[in-house]
Structure 1
Amino acid sequence: MKLFRTRVMSALLLIPGIFLAQAPAKAAEEINTILPDHVIRVGAVNAPPWYQKDLLTNQWTGLVPDVAQAIFKNTDIKIEYVDTQWGTAVAGLQANRFDILGGFNKTPERAKAADFTRPMGAHQMGVLTLDKDTKKYQNWATINNPQTKLAAIDGSAAVTLLQPQLDKAQWIIVPDSDNMQLQMESGRADAIVTNDIQMSQYIQKRHQGTMVIPEPVKEQATNIGLRQNRPKLQAWLDGRLEQLDKDGTLKAIWQKYTHPVNQP
């Protein structure tokens, strides 16, 4: 009888998807236990392409909402978005204003106050300028001088990771993307410092600007942040991200927001 059961199990394993098909149902059941109210509150920063809020409908779109919808697809969990800012996001998690925050880079300082999932993707850091001559932006070392004025979003990877390294440059720290872009367009800043996706989106919409990825290339993984001491939620999210990575869903979502850019 034991030999018969072993053969049956071996045969079942050869049937494509028989156990994989059960995984989503099991995941849906698990998350209902983890979130008994059937609601996940997602912190949202009005910073395209990560998040963008329609002021007329109050609906959120963007890369992070797309990932969130993929994560909770085929579950009974309702996604609710809570306005926040990158610079105050950790405090929002700690105060239980929301449960998770996507597109949130894990840094040593943030890791002291919040937990993080496995990466949901990665992006490269660079500069976007309206200057015709971009030679001085080809290397981070040449950018780091007192004559260079850089605009960045408070709490972003540009500020948390690059500002300490580019300590000789003049930094203009603003709360959101619109203000950051305005600093460059008004001439108060020589360039903005952000990720390749956001720069590509700007060039496509405004039909101006040049994106430069300085040497050495700085690639930054981005994660989902959550309040500390929620191991079951963290493990569930990690499992879903792993599955979405393996089946190509995450790649497809990122490609949606990463388009070829024709630069002057």
Structure 2
Amino acid sequence: MKLFTSRLMSAFLLIPGFFFGQASAADPVSIDTILPSHTLRVGAVNAPPWYQKDLLTNQWVGLVPDVVQALTKGTDIKIEYVDTQWGTAVAGLQSDRFDILGGFNKTPERAKAADFTRPMGSHQMGILTLQKETKKFEKWDTINSPDVKLAAIDGSAAATLLQPQAPKAQWIIVPDSDNMLLQMESGRADAVVNNDIQMAQYVSKRHQGTVIIPTPVKEQPTNIGLRQQRPELKAWLDSRLEQLEKDGTLNAIWKKYTLPATQK
């Protein structure tokens, strides 16, 4: 068993092209050509800490909005957020509802229908539970049991990557983060399956719960998704990732959302 630790940042620093920044004069295609409207439409899922809509200001805040602000810094690009869900995000990209979706993990299934930038970070997949006895969550082999009830978000990496690896477990698939946590808090699920960043946020804010990273560890890079056949936009995004690798901006953004968790 591997309990949640603050190892996140050291892992992030090992990822090539981890930082966003300003484009250089060597960019082959100008942003005017890529986005002639000078508006970048960003798919937004109400799933803290990735995205969260401030009900008072109606503005989107969170890790991805912070990254998008850094991504467009130094340009005259306007940012427009479009509500979506993880489970329907690919369809939103395909239908041109929005241009990009941040914090979107590249999976073989998604890659058939969408394109992805180089990684913008990495996280580990794990278990969050309110139960005192956590031994059954130490390994994915023991989690894969009919006696284990797991909640996950439809279309999330937890559902798409881990559900096939634990087919014997009872999976409760829900549309969003609030419903997923409600399954655990109400006792309908033994635990939720999610990434270490979101689980750490829950423990830090609610002061309850135990985060477990089962073995073997399942680590997943996270990317920016975009519609296929937009090579200029992908090249521009990748260029921004590469050019500010040494700037430290993205590192500082991630650090805001990876506070050490308080264990129950």
TM-score after normalising by structure 2: 0.89
Greater percentage in helix: 1
Which residue pairs with 2:180 in the alignment?
Answer: 180
Q: Which residue of 1 aligns with 2:246?
A: 246
User: Counterparts in 2 of 1:97-246, with a 5 A limit?
Assistant: 97-246=97-246
- One-letter amino acid of the counterpart of residue 248, structure 1: G
Residue 58 of structure 1: how far off its partner (Å) = 1.4
Matched, 1:48 2:36: no
3-state SS of paired residue (2:98):
coil
Shift of residue 33, structure 1, vs aligned partner: 2.2
2:34 is the alignment partner of 1:38: no
Unaligned runs of 5+ in 2: 1-20
- In structure 2, the residue corresponding to 1:189 is in which secondary structure? coil
Partner of 2:8: none
Deviations 1:60-117 (A, max 9, x none): 0011111111110010100100000000000000110000000111111111111100
Matched-pair contact (CA < 8 Å) for 2:152–2:158: yes
Which amino acid in 2 is paired with 1:134?
T
Instruction: Name the CA shift for 1:166/1:24 in 2 (closer, same or farther; >3 Å).
Output: same
Listed one character per residue, the Cα deviations across residues 19-65 of structure 1 (whole Å, up to 9, x for unaligned) are xx9955666x8212211110000000000010000123210001111
Give percent identity, aligned residues only.
Answer: 79
Larger radius of gyration: 1
Per-residue deviation, 1:262: 2.4
Q: How many residues align?
A: 244
Give the distance between the partners of 1:23 and 1:155, measured in 2 at CA.
32
2-side partners of 1:129 and 1:164: how far apart? Answer: 21
The one-letter code of the counterpart of 1:91 is A
- The gaps in structure 1 that reach 5 residues or longer are 1-20
- Work out which structure has the larger RCO, using CA pairs closer than 8 Å and 6 or more positions apart in sequence: 2
TM-score normalised by the chain length of structure 1: 0.89
> Root-mean-square deviation (CA), in Å?
1.7
In the alignment, what sits opposite 1:10?
A: none
Tell me how far 1:247 sits from its aligned partner.
1.9
Q: Which residue of 2 aligns with 1:82?
A: 82
Tell me how far apart the structure 1 counterparts of residues 73 and 97 of structure 2 sit (CA, whole Å): 23
8 Å contact from structure 2 (residues 23, 243) kept in 1: no
For the residues of structure 1 that align with 2:94 and 2:67, how far apart are their CA atoms?
A: 23
Tell me if the contact between 2:22 and 2:74 (Cα under 8 Å) persists in the aligned partners.
no
